[in-house]
Amino acid sequence: MARPLIQMALDSLDFDQTVALADQVAPYVDIFEIGTPCIKYNGINLVKALRQRYPDKLLLVDLKTMDAGEYEAGAFYAAGADICTVLGVSGLATIAGVIKAAKKHAAETQIDLINVADKAECARESVKLGAQIVGIHTGLDAQAAGQTPFGDLNDIARLGLGVRISVAGGIKQATVQQVVEAGANIIVVGAAIYGAPSPAEAAREIRELVDAAAA
């Protein structure tokens, strides 16, 4: 199995704390995600700052675009994003717009299936349009209501879409093995790292667990 990637969800609102957290976990993660609240609060300058500080890391901007796909995402790809997210619920025209913007910058598009009713259909159509990553995502509010991403991950993995699958939603040390075995290629971790007494130590543990599960 190809080594799954670990994506660190940087979900603080504070610019300096976000960069400091990135510095702590950098040795153990493959992708820095600028989370949705963080990008709304800090804007494109944070993308530029992380791009300059980490030229070799993958950088995902969790725009969760809902409209004006090409227009909104284009600026973030130009600033250095490798991946931007677009909501599956936005519809195919918006998804196509983000994909068009990504192609202009030789970058990638991730579909976020959060709150999509027919996830299989949305994933299939998005992949036909050219999306490279399908994101299974139980958001923070849904997590608080007791939901998990595991059932959806199994359903989407079974489709054999031939693109990478990302999984997000409360993934922690105890569930890393399960999601790797279910077929996730990108493991997104936020609170289990930034909420730990030592984020660096938590990220190191997760790296070890992901690599062991994939071995």
Nearer to ligand LJD2ZHX5, 73 or 188 (CB): 188
Instruction: Give 189 or 209: the residue with its C-beta nearer to ligand LJD2ZHX5.
Output: 189
Instruction: Report the distance separating Cα 115 and Cα 177, nearest Å.
Output: 25
Query: Could you tell me the two tokens for 69?
Result: 């796909």
- If we measure between CA atoms, which residue out of 2, 63, 3, 27 comes closest to residue 210? 3
Least separation, in Å, of the C-beta of 189 and ligand LJD2ZHX5?
A: 5
Candidate list 12, 18, 36, 185; residue touching ligand LJD2ZHX5; CB under 6 A: 36
Helix (H, G, I), strand (E, B) or coil at 59: strand
Contact flag: residue 210 with ligand LJD2ZHX5 (CB under 6 A): no
Is the Cβ of residue 99 or residue 192 nearer to ligand LJD2ZHX5 in the bound state?
192
Which is nearer to ligand LJD2ZHX5, 131 or 193 (by Cβ)? 193
Q: Please list every residue from 142 through 201 that binds ligand LJD2ZHX5, using CB under 6 A.
A: 168-171, 188-192
**Smallest distance from ligand LJD2ZHX5 to CB 172, Å:** 8
Contacts of 7 (CB under 8 A, 6+ apart): 29, 30, 31, 32, 33, 60, 166, 168, 186, 187, 188, 189
Q: Which residues contact 176 (CB under 8 A, 6 or more apart)?
A: 187, 206, 209, 210, 213
Q: What are the structure tokens assigned to 86, written together? A: 């677009």
Q: Which of 6, 8, 11, 96 binds ligand LJD2ZHX5 (CB under 6 A)?
A: 11
Rule CB under 6 A: which of 38-97 touch ligand LJD2ZHX5?
62
| Residues in region 125-144 near ligand LJD2ZHX5 by CB under 6 A | 139-140
Q: With H, G, I as helix, E, B as strand and everything else as coil, classify residue 195.
A: coil
Q: Kindly give, in sequence order, each residue whose CB lies less than 8 Å from that of residue 124, ignoring residues fewer than 6 positions away.
A: 159, 161
Q: What is the rounded distance in angstroms from the CA atom of residue 2 to the CA atom of residue 85?
A: 23
Q: In this complex, which beta carbon is closest to ligand LJD2ZHX5, that of residue 108 or of residue 160?
A: 108
Q: Give me the residues that bind ligand LJD2ZHX5 (CB under 6 A), please.
A: 9, 11, 35-37, 62, 139-140, 168-171, 188-192
